[in-house]
Every structure is written in C-alpha cells, then in structure tokens.
Chain A
Amino acid sequence: MSTENSLPISHRQRLWLYLLGGLVMLFLIAPSVIIVIMSFSGSTLLQFPPEQWSLRWYQSYFGSVEWRDATIVSVKVAVMTAIVATPLGTAAAYAINAGTLRLTGAINALLTASLIIPVILIGIGTFFLYARIGLNNTLTGLVIAHTVQALPLVVLTVLSGLRSYDMNQEMVARSLGAGRFAAFFQVTMPQLRFSIVSGALFAFITSFDEVVVSLFISGGETTTLTRRMFNALRDQIDPTIAAISTCLIVLSIVLLSAAQLLGRGR
C-alpha cells in the first residue's frame, strides 16, 4: 500500500509539512518525557535538566502509607472493573453483532451513553445516587461506576473483533450438535481472545486513570490514587507526583504495547 500511496511530490517539497508535524509531535510527547526525567531529580526545585540525580521521589512515593494505600485501592478497583466489564461487554457485543434485535440503535446509544454524557454530570449523578444507597466511599461503588465507564470500550473493542470473525463457524459448530454456549466458548471465543483481552486492558486502564467520578464517590479508606493526586496538585507541586506520574506513564506504555501485540497476533 505504501508504494502506490506516494504522489509525485518529493520529500523535499514536503519539508515544511514534516517540520510542522514534527513540532506538533514534540508538543505532544515533551511533557511526558520531561516528567519522567524530572522524577529522577535530586532537588525540590524544578530544574530541567536536573543538576543532581536521585531516587528520593520514588522513595517518598513507596515509603508513604497514604500513597501506597491509594495505589492499592486503585489497582484493586481497576482489576475488579476489568473482571466485571469484560464479560458484560463481550456478551453485549455478541448480542449487538447478531444484529437481529430491533432497537439496536437505542441499545447502542444506551451502552455508549457514558462516552457522550459529560463525565462531570455522571460524577454528580453517581454521587447523588450513591448517597441514597450507601455506596459512596466503597470499593463496590467504585467498581460499578468504573464498569459503566469501561463498558463501551470493551463493547467497541470486541465488536471490531467480531466484525472480522465469520459467525458461520459458530453455526457450523451448532449444526454439528454443539449447544449455543459450547459453540461460543469452544469456537468463537478462542478466536476472539485477542480482542477480549485488549478490551480487558482498556477497561483496566480506564478505571485506573479515571479522575472525575472518583473525585466524587471515593474518599477515606477508598481514596483512589487519582483522587489523592488531584488533591495534592490543588495544594502545591510535590515532586513525588513526578515519580507517581512516571509509574503511570510506564503502566500506559506496557498496557498499550500488550494491546498492540495482541492486535498483531490477530
């Protein structure tokens, strides 16, 4: 594709475009790079590049009970969210893909509502609801709220996997005597496993990075990492956050690469 793609325009004529594009790419990536480098700084001053190097901000992160507890809460919630959202999303994607239901449009709209409705409204609404049913500041409440946020991503990821899957294979299995569930678990799911795992990874990171809803519904012992970071940033710029940010960036890279590799495997 790449060879036919080229127009009779030389790279030299495109130099300005590459320059402009390169600058925008720099704009996009520079903040993350700067934070990673700053996290190894030895001083409390914001100097770039740092004059001394140290791991003190990592020590301050891992040594602090508050940060560690918040991290554990976030990991727990993200894992649970992935565990809950993945089967729900996969089931929904399967049903949507079958496409025989009326109201598919309405169902799609409802499932992806959390992508369209302003997240601040979801945060306030969830807080309001949880205040009445006692789910504020609980892990269960966080997992449910994050599942709703992660669901559309799982649905969309699995749906795109299903689009390139020939459903006739499942029909063949069923005509050979397999039940509906057996056909799905033995024929369809193994071939969808990459999409499903990608969906689970997206669900995990959606939950782990979620800020606004967590700001409203987490607190006390269930304060998530993002909520604690948000509050810390409101007060002052603590370089410990650079170390935490670096860990989050590395986590994003690892999960994205995993999803990418899985995509290639498909």
Chain B
Amino acid sequence: MSVGSASLDHAGRPDGVLNADALRADARRQALGLLALLSPGLFLVFSIIIVPIGWLFWLSLFDETGQLSLANYARFFEQASYIKTFATTFKVAFVVTGACVLFGYPLAYMLSQLPRRAASICLIFVILPFWTSVLVRTYAWLVILQRKGLINNWLIDLGVIGQPLPLANNFAGVVIGMTHIMLPFLVLPLYASMKTIDVDCLRAGMNLGASPAATFRQIFFPLSLPGLASGVVIVFVLCLGFFVTPALMGGGKVIMWAMRMEQATSLYSNWGAGAALGVVLLAVTLALLGLFQWLLGARATGVWSRR
C-alpha cells in the first residue's frame, strides 16, 4: 500500500501525491470487493422481487383488450365487492391491532418489570408461538373455535349454551386467529423499547411523591409510546396483506385484500386486476411506513417476517 518513504518519488513529486493515488485505488478496489460480496444477494432479491413486481405494475396499466387504461384501478371505486373487501380488510386490521395493543401492552409491561431470569422464561411464551408455523396456529384455532370444536363442546357439555356459537368461519374467528399471530409482532419491539426506559426516571418520579399509578401514567407510558407506535405500525401493515388465516378461518365470508389478489390471479387468471390490487396494497404499506418514519423520525423497528 505505502509507496516508498522518501520525501520525493522517481517522478519528483512529493510523497503524498502518489500515496494518495495508491490509497484511492486501494479504496476503489476495496469498494468493488465489497460490492462483489453483496451482488449475489442483491441480484436474487432484485430478480425475484423487484422485477416481477415492476412487471405486474406494468400489466396493471392495461385492460383486457390490451389497451392502456386505468380500468383495473377504476374498478376499485366502481364495484361494490371491491369496496367491501377494502372495508373488511381495514376493519379486521383495526380490530386486530386494537386487540394486540390491549393484550400486548400489559404483557410487554410485565415482562419489562420482571427480574431478568423470570422475564426470559416468560419471553418463551411469546417467542415460541412467534416461531411456530402460522398454519399450525391457524389449525389450532380451527380446532378450538369451530362448530364442533373444543369451546362449543365444552360450553354445551356444561349446559351454558344449547346451540353451538358461531366462532370460526366468520369475522370473529379471523380476528381471534390473527390476533394470536400478530401479538408477538407487537410485544417484542414494545418490550425491547420498554427495556431501554431508564429506571432512574421512574424512581425520580416516585421520590418526588408520585404514586405508582401517576409514575406510570406520566413517565413510563409516554416514554413507551415510540415502541408502541412501532409495534402498531408493523401489526397494522402485516394485517392488511395477511392471507393464510382469513383464507382458512373466514369461511368464505370474510374476504380480505390478499384473498382477493389470490382469487383474481389463480381463479380468474386476471393478472391486471390482481396486479392492480397488489400495487395499491404495496403503496398503502409503504405510505404507512413512510408516514411513521416521518412522524417519529425513526424506522419501524422490530421483528418482521414470519407471516
């Protein structure tokens, strides 16, 4: 790397100039090397995700006769069934996100207050379902909730009800199943952010005479809001595009966005319609994430994937 230590080189230029050239060449070589390390992964992602989505976007701009038109998008406003699908999707997403906050916040709070050992044991209850297949968990809820499922059998045996309750194959079933699947996506980032809240802040509050409830309300809760917001955005966005649970537990009555996309492409081979739905879904997803980043100045952190 270093080129001589004399103050002048053969060409009579000061040492630094040639050295700088060599260093620049070395940096360039290094950057190329790093790019080479990245390129296989980037190439795969680019060709499997970006190219087909771009292609689908292009397709969505043409109608069935091959004319350039916005017919695929106009349909969303014109056909009642699409409007109903969007309404259902947002309704499910709102209810599931709300349920996740309601159940997830106390759990994350408890985990953050427990001693380390106890917390890591309790965390297993969050992480194990998180890493269990979505299909397995949806199947479990089908077994528990369906007409002749566990809950109905129990309630009938106990004489609480005469007729089985409609718990699966409807809106309630979808919401229960999805809440179970989404809960870890809220709890894990929320717990992580709660762990970073400085206990001295809370202790100071209590020293100054605040009751435990006031300490929580005025100090802990506001400090936990960014973590909560992060979890909420992740859950909401995942809900919008969720497929497996509504497809299996909706009983054909709860048609969500992703199911509509699957129907359009697999059932009707209408690529334009399916693609247009996908483009809007992606746009809404990115807009929500962007909005979050803009509002809080931070990226929605957390554990994604596992859908």
Contacts and interface: CB of A to CB of B under 8 A. Distances in A.
B307 interface: yes
B255 interface: no
Contacts of B184: 28
A35 B212 contact: no
Contact of B35 (A95, A126, A128, A252): A95
Contact of A129 (B37, B48, B127, B281): B48
A121 B50 contact: no
B18 interface: no
A245 B304 CA distance: 23
Contact of A245 (B56, B140, B244): B140
A250 to B, nearest CB: 10
Interface in A156-203: 180
A211 B137 CA distance: 13
Given A9-B212, A113-B50, A226 B41 contact: no
Contacts of A72: none
A98 interface: yes
Contacts of A148: 44-45, 48-49
B132 interface: yes
Interface residues of A, number: 91
Interface of B: 27, 30-31, 33-35, 37-38, 40-42, 44-53, 55-56, 103-104, 106-107, 109-111, 113, 115-117, 122, 125-129, 131-144, 146, 148-150, 153-154, 180, 183-184, 199, 202-203, 206, 212, 215, 240-241, 243-244, 247-248, 258, 261-262, 265-266, 271, 274-275, 278, 281-282, 285-286, 289, 304-307
29 contacts: A2-B115, A2-B116, A5-B199, A6-B115, A7-B202, A28-B125, A28-B180, A28-B184, A34-B140, A34-B144, A46-B146, A88-B40, A89-B41, A92-B41, A95-B34, A100-B31, A110-B46, A113-B49, A113-B50, A116-B286, A125-B52, A125-B55, A126-B52, A151-B41, A151-B45, A209-B133, A233-B135, A241-B139, A248-B133
B150 A107 contact: no
Nearest to B150: A48
A139 interface: no
A3 B115 CA distance: 7
B111 A21 contact: yes
Contacts, number: 278
B106 A7 contact: no
A100 B44 contact: no
Contact of B199 (A4, A32, A237): A4
